[in-house]
Amino acid sequence: MNLPNLLTLLRLFLVPVIFYALARGFFAVALVIFFAAAITDALDGWIARRYHLQTRLGAVLDPVADKLLVVTTVITLTWLQRIPLWLTVAIISRDLLIVGGGLLYLLLIGKFSIHPTLLSKWNTALQFVVIVFVLLEAAYRWRMPLLPVFALVFVTAVASGGQYVWVWSRKAIAQDRASGQS
């Protein structure tokens, strides 16, 4: 166990706390907790890379913590009618596509390594931004037009999901060609 893994575990622990705060209507508290969780996400990766503390546990836990944090928060905010259902469906569908595609690739083709694309990183960052904006609006009646931000997250979620399908398909075709030539 090292500091990046502890930060990831802290983020996992904060998921039900954020849910509780949102369900009770404590939007300012949820905003602070979500922001702290987002900071742990940035910190754990930076510390792990900077000090060569990457572990298999961290490689598995970090994306799980990120997905649980975002999905739980987005679903809860949708339930509270703060985020539109179409955006939540796009975010969750992208995640299911990535996880399902990875499992399918593993079962049909074999071991693979996945590296987040730049578009995927942008989409994840935008998901965090949209959640912060929605929580600011809910907590402090902060007004900003959210529809353009929602649309941007939607477009990057769909494009990122499509990009993963494209990349994995090309890898599968290359693998099939390589095994056919052997």
pLDDT tens-digit profile of 94-123? 999 988 888 888 888 877 777 789 999 999
pTM beyond cutoff 0.85: yes
Q: Where residue 177 falls among pLDDT bands split at 50, 70, 90?
A: confident
pLDDT tens by residue, 10-37:
999 999 999 999 999 999 999 999 999 9
pLDDT of residue 114: 72
Contact criterion met (CB below 8 Å) for 25 and 83: no
* Beta carbons within 10 angstroms of residue 3's beta carbon: 13
Q: Write down the residue that tokens 């369900």 correspond to.
A: 23
